[in-house]
Amino acid sequence: MNLPGKNKLINNIIFGGTFDPIHNGHIEIIKKIKILFNPKIIYVIPSGNPYMKPKPPVASPIERLQMSKIAFKDFENVKVIDYEIHRKDPSYTYDTIEYLSSININIDSLILGQDSYLEINKWKNGVFLKNNYNFIVIKRNISASLPINPRNCFYIEKISTLSSSLIREKIILNKSINEDTPIEITKYIEDNNLYKNGQNN
Protein backbone atom coordinates (compact mmCIF):
# COMPACT_ATOMS: atom_id res chain seq x y z
CA MET A 1 0.00 0.00 0.00
CA ASN A 2 1.18 3.49 -0.79
CA LEU A 3 0.99 5.66 2.30
CA PRO A 4 0.74 9.43 1.92
CA GLY A 5 3.92 11.46 1.96
CA LYS A 6 4.48 14.95 3.29
CA ASN A 7 2.70 16.54 0.34
CA LYS A 8 -0.30 14.20 0.45
CA LEU A 9 -2.14 15.42 3.50
CA ILE A 10 -5.09 13.34 4.62
CA ASN A 11 -6.75 15.41 7.31
CA ASN A 12 -10.46 15.84 6.57
CA ILE A 13 -12.09 12.77 5.07
CA ILE A 14 -15.64 12.03 3.97
CA PHE A 15 -17.09 8.54 4.12
CA GLY A 16 -20.43 8.44 2.34
CA GLY A 17 -22.86 5.60 1.79
CA THR A 18 -26.44 4.48 2.10
CA PHE A 19 -25.68 2.67 5.39
CA ASP A 20 -28.85 0.61 5.01
CA PRO A 21 -28.12 -0.52 7.70
CA ILE A 22 -24.72 0.54 8.96
CA HIS A 23 -22.74 -2.47 10.18
CA ASN A 24 -19.50 -3.65 11.73
CA GLY A 25 -17.77 -3.60 8.34
CA HIS A 26 -18.32 0.15 8.04
CA ILE A 27 -17.06 0.61 11.58
CA GLU A 28 -13.94 -1.47 10.92
CA ILE A 29 -13.18 0.69 7.88
CA ILE A 30 -13.23 3.80 10.07
CA LYS A 31 -11.03 2.16 12.70
CA LYS A 32 -8.51 0.99 10.08
CA ILE A 33 -8.26 4.37 8.39
CA LYS A 34 -7.80 6.14 11.71
CA ILE A 35 -4.85 3.83 12.43
CA LEU A 36 -3.27 4.10 8.96
CA PHE A 37 -3.73 7.80 8.25
CA ASN A 38 -4.42 9.48 11.60
CA PRO A 39 -6.75 12.10 10.05
CA LYS A 40 -8.00 15.10 11.96
CA ILE A 41 -11.62 14.12 11.39
CA ILE A 42 -13.75 11.70 9.38
CA TYR A 43 -17.17 12.93 8.28
CA VAL A 44 -19.71 10.12 7.87
CA ILE A 45 -22.40 11.19 5.40
CA PRO A 46 -25.50 9.03 4.83
CA SER A 47 -26.78 9.60 1.31
CA GLY A 48 -30.26 10.93 0.81
CA ASN A 49 -30.98 10.06 -2.83
CA PRO A 50 -28.16 7.81 -4.12
CA TYR A 51 -28.79 8.29 -7.83
CA MET A 52 -26.39 5.56 -8.99
CA LYS A 53 -28.09 2.82 -6.97
CA PRO A 54 -30.53 0.67 -9.00
CA LYS A 55 -33.06 0.79 -6.13
CA PRO A 56 -33.63 3.32 -3.36
CA PRO A 57 -32.62 2.49 0.21
CA VAL A 58 -35.12 0.51 2.27
CA ALA A 59 -34.84 2.49 5.52
CA SER A 60 -35.76 6.16 5.42
CA PRO A 61 -33.05 8.84 5.31
CA ILE A 62 -33.80 9.79 8.93
CA GLU A 63 -33.55 6.18 10.08
CA ARG A 64 -30.23 5.68 8.30
CA LEU A 65 -28.95 8.95 9.78
CA GLN A 66 -29.96 7.89 13.27
CA MET A 67 -28.27 4.49 12.90
CA SER A 68 -25.09 6.23 11.76
CA LYS A 69 -25.18 8.53 14.78
CA ILE A 70 -25.66 5.57 17.11
CA ALA A 71 -22.80 3.63 15.52
CA PHE A 72 -20.25 6.44 15.91
CA LYS A 73 -21.48 8.22 19.03
CA ASP A 74 -18.42 7.21 21.05
CA PHE A 75 -15.82 7.69 18.29
CA GLU A 76 -13.34 10.50 18.69
CA ASN A 77 -12.85 12.65 15.58
CA VAL A 78 -15.77 11.08 13.71
CA LYS A 79 -18.77 13.27 12.94
CA VAL A 80 -22.02 12.35 11.19
CA ILE A 81 -23.29 14.99 8.73
CA ASP A 82 -27.00 15.20 7.81
CA TYR A 83 -26.66 17.42 4.71
CA GLU A 84 -27.58 14.84 2.08
CA ILE A 85 -30.54 13.24 3.85
CA HIS A 86 -32.42 16.56 3.85
CA ARG A 87 -31.99 17.12 0.10
CA LYS A 88 -34.60 16.00 -2.42
CA ASP A 89 -32.06 16.29 -5.23
CA PRO A 90 -29.68 13.41 -6.01
CA SER A 91 -26.75 13.03 -3.62
CA TYR A 92 -23.77 14.35 -5.56
CA THR A 93 -20.45 14.15 -3.74
CA TYR A 94 -19.26 17.30 -5.50
CA ASP A 95 -22.23 19.28 -4.12
CA THR A 96 -21.63 17.90 -0.64
CA ILE A 97 -17.99 18.97 -0.72
CA GLU A 98 -19.03 22.42 -1.94
CA TYR A 99 -21.53 22.71 0.91
CA LEU A 100 -18.96 21.65 3.50
CA SER A 101 -16.54 24.20 2.10
CA SER A 102 -19.21 26.89 2.53
CA ILE A 103 -19.29 26.15 6.28
CA ASN A 104 -15.48 26.11 6.51
CA ILE A 105 -14.99 22.35 6.37
CA ASN A 106 -12.34 21.78 3.73
CA ILE A 107 -12.32 18.18 2.59
CA ASP A 108 -9.11 16.73 1.15
CA SER A 109 -9.88 13.00 0.97
CA LEU A 110 -12.66 10.51 0.26
CA ILE A 111 -13.18 6.87 1.27
CA LEU A 112 -14.65 4.73 -1.49
CA GLY A 113 -15.19 1.10 -2.29
CA GLN A 114 -13.39 -0.20 -5.35
CA ASP A 115 -16.53 -0.37 -7.51
CA SER A 116 -17.46 3.24 -6.74
CA TYR A 117 -13.95 4.48 -7.49
CA LEU A 118 -13.92 2.72 -10.87
CA GLU A 119 -17.19 4.50 -11.75
CA ILE A 120 -16.10 7.95 -10.62
CA ASN A 121 -15.89 9.33 -14.16
CA LYS A 122 -19.70 8.96 -14.27
CA TRP A 123 -20.13 11.16 -11.21
CA LYS A 124 -20.98 14.84 -11.33
CA ASN A 125 -17.61 16.53 -11.94
CA GLY A 126 -16.01 13.14 -11.35
CA VAL A 127 -12.82 13.93 -13.28
CA PHE A 128 -12.38 17.09 -11.22
CA LEU A 129 -12.77 15.11 -7.99
CA LYS A 130 -10.34 12.48 -9.20
CA ASN A 131 -7.70 15.08 -9.97
CA ASN A 132 -8.10 17.25 -6.88
CA TYR A 133 -8.76 14.97 -3.92
CA ASN A 134 -7.11 12.00 -2.24
CA PHE A 135 -8.93 8.67 -2.47
CA ILE A 136 -8.68 5.86 0.03
CA VAL A 137 -10.04 2.90 -1.91
CA ILE A 138 -11.19 -0.33 -0.24
CA LYS A 139 -10.31 -3.21 -2.55
CA ARG A 140 -12.99 -5.77 -3.32
CA ASN A 141 -10.54 -8.65 -3.11
CA ILE A 142 -6.82 -9.34 -2.89
CA SER A 143 -6.41 -10.10 -6.59
CA ALA A 144 -8.21 -6.97 -7.75
CA SER A 145 -6.42 -5.22 -10.60
CA LEU A 146 -6.68 -1.47 -10.14
CA PRO A 147 -5.20 1.58 -11.84
CA ILE A 148 -2.24 2.98 -9.96
CA ASN A 149 -2.22 6.68 -9.20
CA PRO A 150 0.48 7.17 -6.56
CA ARG A 151 -0.18 10.90 -6.42
CA ASN A 152 -3.53 10.76 -4.67
CA CYS A 153 -4.93 7.22 -4.50
CA PHE A 154 -4.23 4.75 -1.70
CA TYR A 155 -5.52 1.20 -1.75
CA ILE A 156 -6.19 -0.87 1.33
CA GLU A 157 -7.13 -4.52 1.40
CA LYS A 158 -10.71 -5.64 1.87
CA ILE A 159 -11.58 -5.26 5.54
CA SER A 160 -14.88 -7.13 5.90
CA THR A 161 -17.14 -9.52 4.03
CA LEU A 162 -20.25 -7.95 5.54
CA SER A 163 -22.76 -6.14 3.37
CA SER A 164 -25.97 -4.31 4.16
CA SER A 165 -27.90 -6.42 1.65
CA LEU A 166 -26.87 -9.66 3.39
CA ILE A 167 -27.91 -8.22 6.76
CA ARG A 168 -31.30 -7.22 5.36
CA GLU A 169 -31.69 -10.73 3.98
CA LYS A 170 -30.91 -12.20 7.41
CA ILE A 171 -33.57 -10.02 8.99
CA ILE A 172 -36.15 -11.13 6.43
CA LEU A 173 -35.26 -14.75 7.28
CA ASN A 174 -35.45 -14.04 11.03
CA LYS A 175 -31.75 -14.79 11.48
CA SER A 176 -29.63 -13.09 14.14
CA ILE A 177 -27.53 -10.07 13.15
CA ASN A 178 -25.92 -9.69 16.58
CA GLU A 179 -22.46 -10.42 15.16
CA ASP A 180 -22.95 -8.09 12.20
CA THR A 181 -23.95 -4.81 13.83
CA PRO A 182 -23.46 -3.12 17.21
CA ILE A 183 -26.12 -4.20 19.70
CA GLU A 184 -27.54 -0.66 19.73
CA ILE A 185 -28.11 -0.85 15.97
CA THR A 186 -29.77 -4.26 16.30
CA LYS A 187 -32.08 -2.82 18.95
CA TYR A 188 -32.89 0.22 16.78
CA ILE A 189 -33.75 -2.05 13.85
CA GLU A 190 -35.98 -4.22 16.06
CA ASP A 191 -37.66 -1.27 17.79
CA ASN A 192 -38.49 0.33 14.44
CA ASN A 193 -39.42 -2.93 12.72
CA LEU A 194 -37.01 -2.27 9.86
CA TYR A 195 -36.33 -4.62 6.95
CA LYS A 196 -38.95 -7.21 7.96
CA ASN A 197 -41.46 -6.49 5.21
CA GLY A 198 -39.61 -8.38 2.51
CA GLN A 199 -37.98 -5.36 0.90
CA ASN A 200 -34.40 -5.88 -0.17
CA ASN A 201 -31.98 -4.56 -2.79
Higher pLDDT, 168 or 199: 168
Range in 25-29, 84-88, 192-196 with the lowest mean pLDDT: 84-88
Q: Which residues of 86-103 are buried (b: 16+ CB within 10 A; e: fewer)?
A: ebeeebbbebbbeebeee
Res 152: pLDDT? 86
158: pLDDT strictly greater than 90:
no
Given its phi and psi angles, is residue 176 left (phi above 0), alpha (psi -120 to 50 degrees) or beta? Answer: beta
Query: What are 6-58's pLDDT values in tens digits?
Result: 346 899 999 999 999 999 999 999 999 999 999 999 999 999 877 666 678 99
Q: Where does the chain show beta strands of DSSP type E?
A: 12-17, 41-46, 78-80, 109-113, 134-138, 153-156
pLDDT in tens, 57-81: 999 999 999 999 999 999 999 999 9
Q: What is the CATH number of domain 12-162?
A: 3.40.50.620
